[in-house]
Each structure stands twice: as structure tokens, then as C-alpha cells.
Structure 1
Amino acid sequence: MFSSQAGARPRSWEASPSENKKWVEVFKTCDDGNKGYLSREDFKVAVVMLFGYKPSKIEADSVMSSINPNTSGILLEEFLNIVRKKKEAQVYRNEIRHIFTAFDVHYRGFLTLEDFKKAFKRVAPKLPERTVLEAFRETDQDSDGHVSFRDFEYAMNHGQTK
């Protein structure tokens, strides 16, 4: 709906040298015993330090199952790639939130068809009204006449939904 490819991200995000340096420092700090890798528990502590939340068992299992089976844990380069992807996803979600907020001019936490019409009138004044209506219907996942942030985020991440 909003992108030319389903799930396409609008642009790539790059870590600044200072962010990259911080990530390396966190890796070294969390590498209990200077083993050269992060254990499952070390990784959890690193995520708390960088993102402010403790990863779920599912997230930790997913990360641990994705590493090279010949290593005892997450090596620095693997850690940097994981953190870079998490940060990129966080930045992208914040961009989606910003767009949703720009559409939600009444600060209700949801969008109506009228909100869609006004927003599209500003950004694409020659777009046919039927196209705006189709976009709204595709985005309104539960067909309740309101587009929640969750509906909007889903549409932004998955392109056309129906």
C-alpha cells in the first residue's frame, strides 16, 4: 500500500562511529571473563544496556540459534550485526510512528477516513478519492472504521494487505 515492495524499508540506516564504538565497549563490558564472546546471559545484559529492556526467552533463543555452532557464544562481529539490525528496526518504527502522528491531527490514537482524506489531499492532491478510500480500507485491518497505529504499522511493513 505505502511502499513499492512489501516490507521494503525506505532507506538504510548507518551507525555513527561513536555508536559503533559504544557497541564495542558494551560487548567488552558484558564479555564476562574476557572470553572473546558473549554467552546467552552476557547478551541479555548487553541488550539491557543498549536498548533498555531484557530480551525475552524467544528472542534470546533466536539469537543463540543463529550464531555459528562452532563457537561458544556471540562473537563481536555477530553482536555488532545483531545490534545494527535492532537499531535499524527501532529507527524505522520511530519513522512510522512519526508519519502516523502527522496523520493523527486530533491526537486520538487512531485515524478515520476523513484523516486519510485530509492527509492525502496535502501530500498527493491529484490522487483520486477512490484510491484514498481503497488505501484506508486496506489499512483498516479489522474494518471498524478506525486505523490504529498497529494497523498502520502493519500496512507500512507489508505493503498491500489484501
Structure 2
Amino acid sequence: MFFSQASAQPRTWEASPSERKKLAEVFKACDEDNKGYLSREDFKVAVVMLFGYKPSKIEADSVMSSLNPDASGLSLEEFLNFVKKKKELQLYRNEIRHIFTAFDRHYRGYLTLEDFQKAFKQVAPKLPERIILEVFREVDQDSDGHVSFKDFEYAMKYGQNEA
């Protein structure tokens, strides 16, 4: 997909010493009975404390299935790794939202071909008009002449897993 070549690269996130201390405190507070690991339910409570939402069954299954089969639960290091990945995804999504907002000059919540043309004229003035049209058509998955944030986000993320 052409558009993925222009996508933003995910940022890295590292916990500062004070953030690491806070995360360790959350881990300890959620570690029922001081087992040294977070059970599935402990993990859910920790996510609520840190991110303000209860993880879905799919998310919890994904995290728990990524553990060593002999492990009883999520160790502190595994928990810190999970938080790091989650924070990086949040940074990346915020970056994509900023790019979308910059393209959406009229604050409509969707992008038109005209929005694409104006944006590309500023960032890539020598890019042929036909390429801009191809990119727009590729991103406009339902061919309604509008690119929603969801479509835009999908296009920006496309190919990132292979990179």
C-alpha cells in the first residue's frame, strides 16, 4: 500500500525512575496475597488503575497466553513490558490523530479528496496529482468520497507490523 510509506513511525516510551516506581507500586497493590505475579484478575485491576478501562477478554487472553507456559502469572518485568507497549501504542495513535486533524481543515471529522490535495501540496508539492488520487481512493475503503479517522488510522498502520 502506497500510503503506508508515508506513515508515521511508532515512538518509543521508556518509564522514568519515578514512573517505574509508580508502576511497581501498582503491581504490588494488585498482587493479591503477595504472590510475586499478577493473576488474570489482578492484571485486569492493574489495567483499570493505570489506563482507566477494563481490558476485554481478548486483550487479557492475549497477554496471558504470551507468558511462559510454566508461569503462574504476569511477573513485574512482563507487566512493565506490557505497559511500555501500551504507552507506545497510545503515543502512536495520538500522532495519527494529530496528522488527521491537520488534514481535516474544516473540522468535519472526515477527509475529502480536496483535503488530501491541499495537504499533499504542502508536504509534497512535486507529487503527481494522479498519485494523490490513487492514495485517496485506496484509503477511502467504502468509496463514499470521505475518509474517516478509522480508515485513515488503518492506512497509517498498514504495513507497520512488517517493518
Same fold per superposition (TM over 0.5): yes
User: 1 CA distance for matches of 2:5 and 2:90?
Assistant: 21
Specify the alignment match of 1:2 in structure 2.
3
Amino acid at match of 1:66: S
Q: Provide the TM-score with structure 2 as the length reference.
A: 0.90
Dislocated runs of 4+, deviation >6 Å: none
Specify the alignment match of 1:114 in structure 2.
114
- Shift of residue 18, structure 1, vs aligned partner: 2.6
- Find out whether 1:84 has 2:84 as its counterpart: yes
User: 1 CA distance for matches of 2:87 and 2:95?
Assistant: 12
Specify the alignment match of 2:143 in structure 1.
143
Amino acid at match of 2:98: H
Deviation per residue, 1:31-65 (Å, 9 max, x gap) = 11111000111100000011110001111111111
Specify the alignment match of 2:158 in structure 1.
158
Gaps of 5+ in 1: none
Q: How does 1:37-76 map to 2 (within 5 A)?
A: 37-76=37-76
Specify the alignment match of 1:102 in structure 2.
102
For the structure 1 residues 10 and 3, does the alpha-carbon distance in structure 2 shift closer, same or farther, using more than 3 Å as the test? Answer: farther
Deviation per residue, 1:54-113 (Å, 9 max, x gap) = 001111111111111212110111111111111111110111011001100111000000
Deviation per residue, 1:107-127 (Å, 9 max, x gap) = 100000000001111111111
- Shift of residue 140, structure 1, vs aligned partner: 0.6
Report the 3-state secondary structure (helix = DSSP H, G, I; strand = E; otherwise coil) of the residue aligned with 1:4. Answer: helix
Report the 3-state secondary structure (helix = DSSP H, G, I; strand = E; otherwise coil) of the residue aligned with 1:102. Answer: helix
- Shift of residue 8, structure 1, vs aligned partner: 7.8
Q: Tell me the matched-pair count.
A: 159
Q: Provide the TM-score with structure 1 as the length reference.
A: 0.91
User: 1 CA distance for matches of 2:16 and 2:127?
Assistant: 38
Amino acid at match of 1:90: Q
Gaps of 5+ in 2: none
User: 2 CA distance for matches of 1:62 and 1:151?
Assistant: 25
> What is the aligned-residue identity percentage?
80
